[in-house]
Structure 1
């Protein structure tokens, strides 16, 4: 078997530890041929390699165990191999994901093989029938073929103490790689971002691809204005647009200096003088009322004046001092817009800055007018900001569809579609996005994640797993997509296993061919 090893991955593996050695067998030498099988339970993939089996002679079985949920190697557990009534056991893998067991077939013929892996109560088991030759003479007399492994097998994934029905799936016939197949060893797959998935059909919704923008939610932004006229002085020289501020942070100081008509210090002094006078009048009327020397109406008038002057002085005095009036952040968030610069002059009521909490954002998608009829069918959306490598769904941000516009603004060519999202820190206000508007659900379709697709000159391909370590590059005809998954029209069938993550690793592997032997020698 020719093995194809990417040069970069080979160098990386050697740096981490010695790779398996692969020995080349002379063509037609049956004794050095390796028989390989790939079989599955619901949770695991077993990739077995062994030489042709001779009655009474020990044969080494190498079993690679991969967890299907994340395509990682099994690190522990006990492996039991039973062949024709003879049993051997390995209490732990010789290396992560790899078990080695030696066993001698008790007799020739078609024997039952049972392989079981167990860790605690979790049990994974496969059954098969394998052919055992009487001697080397019989092996060499017959054309080499692994056809002896042709009976169906039961695959089951079960708890040791639970009663599970067996999943009857044909045991994969012993495999050999074609000349065009790409070999990617388990050890390489386990050490890289690699994943193999089973092609399945699922409901798919109609999708319109368009553009959009992440915008601040109206309830999440606050604009602060100048309460007085004067010169702006920044409290923090590093206060810039995009900076995060906490509620109560000192942002600016407004200094009136010697400005006529609206001098803050003068206004504060005047308010203090009025408060002193009104307090004196109030206390005097209070004593006169007790003595019956004034009317209650006059007393209440002095009391009202005193309270008004007290509020005015308190309002001016809490933030105003000899240095001017201090402006504090009214809420926590990022500075969405900074309207002033250090040293600039502001009038009363002029906008100083806008603070956005960024806890919730709006996604505005632009629905083209020719697809206006689709607006009533929109249920959700996937979107990919310009800075992200993959699309995200509404569910990722607890988002929901708010509204779809029914009119087009002047000089606009699109209907606005709005969604609200909870920001977990990944969303960037103002970012432009690619949006996939999702409508009604269609019939079931064969779907693959976009990470499984390889595009070359406008054509699309997927890598289909032919055996445990062999893959075939196959052209596919694609249909619509939602930014995360794409419909496959032809080229891939339900039940086939394909590379769903790491296809670029196989593309690199296909460019380097190394002539090495079949099987793994540890």
Structure 2
């Protein structure tokens, strides 16, 4: 029997173990080999809210006899073995029993108790060291004598072809289970799409003029660098319109220097004459103004010569400032400092990573059933992960940007655009995606992850965990799917524990003949 986390799964196995190849070499098994004399074993399987799974086996408990519990403890966060811990088994009922045990081997612990009083006990396994949490309560029946135990557990039950997939195998491969749950799934249609950005989400920065690229005072941008809107990325030293322009710029400097020298001499002469009261004060002001004009001309001439010199040599600064049009991350740098570029040549690409759009193309035949306010999902090509597009709820992070009112005359599709509020860092602008867009009304059904359902020769199959190491192949009828969840119309009940990762490995174990071999290790 399998129930939710507060309960337990128990079973008896009465199969002899001749030829049993369970890989538990070296275990300290009571009774020798892999059994307890008559081979009857009682199994306990339970999951706790502390993120632990317990699979334990023990012989029928009899007063006055030591009862070893071979406990396999799994950490559900990653379905790995609980390593290097110390556990305590507590039985509460007609008597109080407790036993501590260190790790026998990876994930396996062997506490043992000797009951003194028969009756029904409630057991709990608690981690004392090397971890946290507990699993329980689970029921343990203690019998007054061996005859009562044999009568209650005669052995020889047929497990009906259950597939054995051992804990040591589960811990070493990608594996996971979860409870099937009642949920709501809305029918969806899978269509092609693309990740894109809003119109202001990408900025392509081009050179406004032909010239040579120069680094800004803050340095030259590199891919991955975060920049603010308006930040100076580089400067451009314009290329001379003709080769003789540079020579004329040099000549202009010489002429401007001569004018400055002449104006300075004239200003000095005017100062002396004003001191001698030979000319009016107005003549001195005019001389000084001429000097200032000549100095300004010299500054402009030198700057023009510097620009031509920078463009020719690849060093120095430029007169055209290249700035970031948006805040974001530098995604591409197409030039290097000192490189000559043409007008309108691409220099940098900046992307705003805070907002991504998902663009989907819905076939015309499905567009009429499109549900605007229902959740959608998408999957990168080549990936198994489905990313949610959450629209439902007051604080939904995503939103519907646009559902086109027209049909594309060539593709016969209707474009739908979603905005993702919290884009994953793994998502890239321009990536091709498959989009599940909602169409039609929601269906209430048992839901499981898509990964739990195998297609086996045209049948949909799910593996149900009957006990810790025992699985049942179940043929199911599937319904609509939404993102990573799929509706199961029949074949699975809510609360059954199903394999969600590694189901194909369980199938391989069944194909290899590891079927129905109950045992105590």
TM-score, normalization by structure 1: 0.69
| 1:31 and 2:38 are equivalent in the alignment | yes
Where 1:508 maps in the other structure, the secondary structure is helix
Shift of 1:210: 0.8
Partner of 2:176: 195
User: Per-residue CA shift, 1:91-112, capped at 9, x if unaligned?
Assistant: 544345433233334356xx12
3-state SS of paired residue (2:38) = helix
Tell me, what secondary structure is at the counterpart of 2:111?
strand
Once residues 473 and 318 of structure 1 are traced to their aligned partners in structure 2, the CA distance between those partners, rounded to angstroms, is 80
Match status 1:355 vs 2:349: yes
SS in 2 for 1:219: coil
Partner of 1:184: 165
Determine the C-alpha separation between the residues in 2 that align with 1:352 and 1:517: 69
Alpha-carbon contact 1:2-1:515 (below 8 Å) kept: no
Q: CA deviation at 1:263?
A: 7.1
Residue 62 of structure 1 is aligned with which of 64, 70, 73?
Answer: 70
Cα RMSD (Å) of the superposition?
5.1
1:322 aligns with 2:312: yes
* Structure 2 residue aligned with 1:135: 146
Shift of 1:30: 7.3
Find the aligned partners of 1:274 and 1:520 in 2 and give their Cα distance.
105
For residues 182 and 39 of structure 2, the distance between their equivalents in structure 1, rounded to whole angstroms, comes to 42
Gaps of at least 5 residues in structure 2 are: 1-14, 216-221, 271-279
Equivalent positions of 1:422-437 (< 5 A) are 424-437=424-437
Q: Structure 2 vs 1, CA of residues 316 and 69 (structure 1 numbering), >3 Å: closer, same or farther? A: same
Q: 1:89 aligns with which of 99, 108, 131?
A: 99
Is 1:472 matched up with 2:472? yes
Partners of 1:45 and 1:273 lie apart in 2 by 89
Task: Find the counterpart in structure 2 of residue 212 from structure 1.
Answer: 193
Rounded to whole Å, the distance in 2 between the matches of 1:485 and 1:280 is 86
Alignment partner of 1:225 out of 206, 212, 226: 206
Counterpart in 2 of 1:483?
Answer: 483
Q: Deviations over 1:187-213 (max 9, x none)?
A: 322333222211111233342321111
How far does the alpha carbon of each residue in 1:388-433 deviate from its partner, in whole angstroms, 9 at most, with x for none?
2322224699654322222245534222222334555312232211
Aligned to 2:8: none
Structure 1 position 372 matched with structure 2 position 367: yes
Instruction: Find 2:59's aligned residue among 51, 54, 68.
Output: 51
Deviation at 1:458, TM superposition (A): 3.2
Decide which of 112, 116, 123 is 2:120's aligned counterpart: 112
Match of 1:125 in 2: 136
Assess, with a 3 A threshold, how the Cα gap between structure 1 residues 201 and 252 changes in structure 2: closer, same or farther.
Answer: same
1:335 paired residue number: 332
In structure 2, the residue matched to 1:99 is: 109
Give the equivalent residue in structure 2 for 1:162: none
Q: Following TM superposition, by how much is the alpha carbon of 1:267 offset from its aligned partner in structure 2, in angstroms?
A: 8.0
User: Is the contact between residue 334 and residue 358 of structure 1 (CA under 8 Å) also seen in structure 2?
Assistant: no
Shift of 1:467: 1.6
In the comparison of the two structures, how many residue pairs are matched? Answer: 463
Relative to structure 1, is the Cα distance of residues 127 and 357 closer, same or farther in structure 2, using a 3 angstrom cutoff? closer
Aligned partner of 1:150 in structure 2 is none
Matched, 1:383 2:394: no
Contact 2:191 2:361 in 1 (8 A): yes
Report the 3-state secondary structure (helix = DSSP H, G, I; strand = E; otherwise coil) of the residue aligned with 2:367: helix
Distance 1:219 1:324 in 2: 33
Q: Is the 8 A contact 2:330 2:348 kept in 1?
A: no
Return the alpha-carbon distance in structure 2 between the equivalents of residues 307 and 408 of structure 1: 64
1:181, CA displacement in angstroms? 1.0
Residues of 1 paired with 2:424 and 2:445: CA distance? Answer: 32
Q: SS of 1:451's equivalent?
A: helix
3-state SS, counterpart of residue 504 of structure 1: helix
CA contact (8 A) 1:367 1:414 kept: yes
Equivalent pair of 1:224/1:354 in contact (CA under 8 Å): yes
SS at match of 1:228: coil
Could you list the per-position Cα deviations for residues 351-385 of structure 1 after superposition, in whole angstroms to 9, with x for gaps in the alignment? Answer: 33451325243321112223333456144432111
Deviations, residues 423-446 of structure 1 (Å, cap 9, x unaligned)? 553122322111112478725332
Q: Provide the secondary structure at the position in 1 that maps to 2:477.
A: strand
Q: Is the 8 A contact 1:380 1:394 kept in 2?
A: yes
Contact 2:369–2:440, Cα closer than 8 Å, also in 1? no
Counterparts of 2:262 and 2:402, CA distance in 1: 60
Contact 1:203 1:441 in 2 (8 A): no
- SS of 2:368's partner is helix
CA distance in 1, matches of 2:418, 2:301: 44
CA deviations on 1:320-379 (whole Å, 9 max, x unpaired) are 34325888974552239x6x99x99975x4333451325243321112223333456144
Q: Is the 8 A contact 2:101 2:109 kept in 1?
A: no
Q: Counterparts of 1:182 and 1:282 in 2: how far apart (Å)?
A: 105
Q: Residues 56 and 350 from structure 1, CA distance in 2 versus in 1: closer, same or farther, beyond 3 angstroms?
A: closer
1:472 Cα deviation after fit: 0.7
Preserved contact between residue 271 and residue 313 of structure 1 (Cα < 8 Å) = no
Contact 1:53 1:59 in 2 (8 A): yes
Rounded to whole Å, the distance in 1 between the matches of 2:461 and 2:412 is 36
Against the structure 1 CA distance between its residues 105 and 76, is the aligned structure 2 distance closer, same or farther, given a 3 Å change threshold? closer
Q: Are the counterparts in 1 of residues 88 and 111 from structure 2 also a CA contact under 8 Å? A: no
Structure 2 contact 164–514 (Cα < 8 Å) conserved: no
Offset of residue 131 of structure 1: 5.3
Cα separation, 2, equivalents of 1:312 and 1:234? 19
Instruction: Tell me the CA shift for residue 268 of structure 1.
Output: 5.9
**Would you say the 8 A contact 2:185–2:445 is kept in 1?**
yes
1:148-297 equivalences under 5 Å are 178-229=159-210, 256=239, 261=242, 265=246, 269=250, 291-292=281-282
